[in-house]
Amino acid sequence: MLYLIGLGLGDAKDITVKGLEIVRRCNRVYLEAYTSILTVGKEALEEFYGRKLILADREEVEQEADNILKDADTNEVAFLVVGDPFGATTHSDLILRATKLGIPYRVIHNASIMNAVGCCGLQGGQPRSSHRQDTWRPESFFDKVEKNRQSGMHTLCLLDIKIKEQSLENLIKGRKIYDPPRYMSVNQAAQQLLEIVQNRREEGEEPAITEDTLCVGLARVGTEDQKIAAGTLQQMCTVDLGGPLHSLIITGGSMHPLEKEMLSLFSISEQP
Amino acid sequence: MLYLIGLGLGDAKDITVKGLEIVRRCNRVYLEAYTSILTVGKEALEEFYGRKLILADREEVEQEADNILKDADTNEVAFLVVGDPFGATTHSDLILRATKLGIPYRVIHNASIMNAVGCCGLQGGQPRSSHRQDTWRPESFFDKVEKNRQSGMHTLCLLDIKIKEQSLENLIKGRKIYDPPRYMSVNQAAQQLLEIVQNRREEGEEPAITEDTLCVGLARVGTEDQKIAAGTLQQMCTVDLGGPLHSLIITGGSMHPLEKEMLSLFSISEQP
């Protein structure tokens, strides 16, 4: 097993409890030393983890990935990354190589600048916030996703969560009785988007998002049973991702070859 | 002290070591229960932390923030959030209220869907990746930032890091001698952007980014001595944020009132 473990942004104690347990039991532990910088020295990490770390610089990871992955089919190897393994730099190369060698991998996420930057008070993409915090208004949302796609940008849709909502009747009567929680699924979101595609066509438009637009459905990201499925928006209407929470990415069209290769690991196989 | 502590995305062990230490010593520990869902029950968390948790639902946080913050000037209060405190939902409300009451706050970051989503292989904003991974090409980058701003979107620029770079001479001679690491500062980035603003004007254009564009400079986010400064692009040329790593946000123009209020906590005071 190859573990990619995020170390977070601060010092040695910003590793997660789960990450620390894995580090302490792995056969070999590499520390990636080029995409970001450590705020504490390698020695401080080694002392806190109680493990020797092997420094892996850019050349090592790119040219000697096979050394890192050696025996990882029967041993446990950890690869430590400052921030999150999928923060500023993805480690697709290493994961794709492991997959080709038949070595399973697991990711232990942590904070990266990509989310921690929110501490300044600015919020992420407009589609996201309006989507999540207001009611689900697919028509206005659709325009934003289209615009993103036309600019070559992926859109991450965090799907609607309704917790402790009151029915209108209970609200009026002042009864603190709440509806059961509801979570929008990727299927529901995809179906709503496709309805808009149809509406637009009936109005004589050819929308930038169609049945064939490449999407990615994600469920329970970061948990042991997370599911990822890449396929068309049409396929997203029926893909089975299991329970909440779901997210849906509408891709931005042109993609980097590494993005394509990674997505292929999750592609929905065509039904016969 | 008010601590906002991210719990990450998985189970009880996805809290950071630092977060766990704080939870165990705080006087009161709240668990936010509405912006996301727990993958494990409150009881599982309580057992692992060895602490009773007070569930804070939407009403509690919005209407009874003062209860949460009670005595927090002399006690330690923890507010636990699934994911990152600044992931899908910012907790600006609570922070602003604490600040008004003179209560200091600290954030213990963790993974959120905003960065963990990278596990599907898709990469974040184009400006970011081209900026970081290729050479720093401010002209082409400028166009992307302009486009983002015209669409009302903030742009996060992760500034250039050069580690283990070889000089051309050493490269040609095959000598494994590396230049000292270099990290672009917010000052340098802002100066380069302003040079482009000047170039564009000399070409007769009026760029969408100017000296007066509101920006945010961030340094060492997630560490004990992080610095955040909000001000104009002109002010970013001289603001002192200390050592690396730096990031620069060029705001997207229109902002939510809560975004403005949070930024005001970090605004650069005018020199007399």
Sort out which chain A residues have CB atoms less than 8 A from B124's CB and list them.
114, 154
Highest mean pLDDT among A27-41, A177-191, B167-181: A177-191
Instruction: Identify which of B13, B115, B251 has the shortest CB distance to residue A114.
Output: B115
pLDDT tens digit sequence for B143-176: 989 988 988 889 999 888 877 777 888 888 888 8
Q: Please report residues of A whose CB lies closer than 8 A to that of B120.
A: 216, 218, 228, 230, 249, 262-263, 266
> A17, B18: Cβ pair inside 8 Å?
no
Rounded Cα gap, residues A137 and A131, in angstroms: 7
Lowest mean pLDDT: which of A4-13, A38-47, A94-103, B198-207? Answer: A38-47
Instruction: Check: CB of residue B111 under 8 Å from CB of residue A111.
Output: yes
Q: Of A268, A249, A247, which Cα lies nearest the Cα of A184?
A: A247
Q: Classify A174 as helix, strand or coil.
A: coil
Nearest CA in chain B to A17: B13
Contacts of A132 in chain B (CB under 8 A): 88-89
Q: Is the pTM of this model over 0.80?
A: yes
Q: What counts of helices (H) and strands (E) characterise chain B?
A: 12, 11
Task: Give the ipTM.
Answer: 0.86
Picking from A3, A122, A245, A262 by the largest number of B CB atoms within 10 A of its own CB, the best residue to mutate is A122
> Chain B partners of A251 at a C-beta cutoff of 8 Å?
122
Closest-CA distance, B194 to chain A, in angstroms, reads 23
A151/B152 touch (CB, cutoff 8 Å), yes or no: no
Q: Do B36 and A245 touch (CB under 8 A)?
A: yes
Closest CB from A57, A120, A222 relative to B9: A222
Q: Mean pLDDT across the stretch A225-254? A: 94
CB pairs under 8 A between A and B: 281
Residue of chain A whose Cα is closest to the Cα of B227 = A120
Distance of CA A27 to the CA centre of its chain: 28
Please report the pLDDT score of residue A242 as a whole number. Answer: 96
CB contact under 8 A, A161 and B37: yes
Which runs of E-coded beta strand occur in B63-165?
A: 77-81, 105-108, 155-158, 161-162
Chain A residue numbers touching B33 (CB-CB < 8 A): 163
pLDDT given at position A129: 32
Q: Which of A159-168, B8-17, B228-237 has the lowest mean pLDDT?
A: A159-168
Average pLDDT score over residue span B106-125: 87
Distance from CA of B152 to the nearest CA of A (A): 8
Q: Read off the amino acid at residue B66.
A: D
Q: Flag if B259 and A121 touch (Cβ within 8 Å).
A: yes
Query: What distance in Å separates the CA atoms of residue A236 and residue A194, rounded to the nearest whole number?
Result: 10
Summarize pLDDT for B19-35 with one digit per residue, the tens. 999 999 999 999 987 66
CB contact under 8 A, B15 and A16: yes
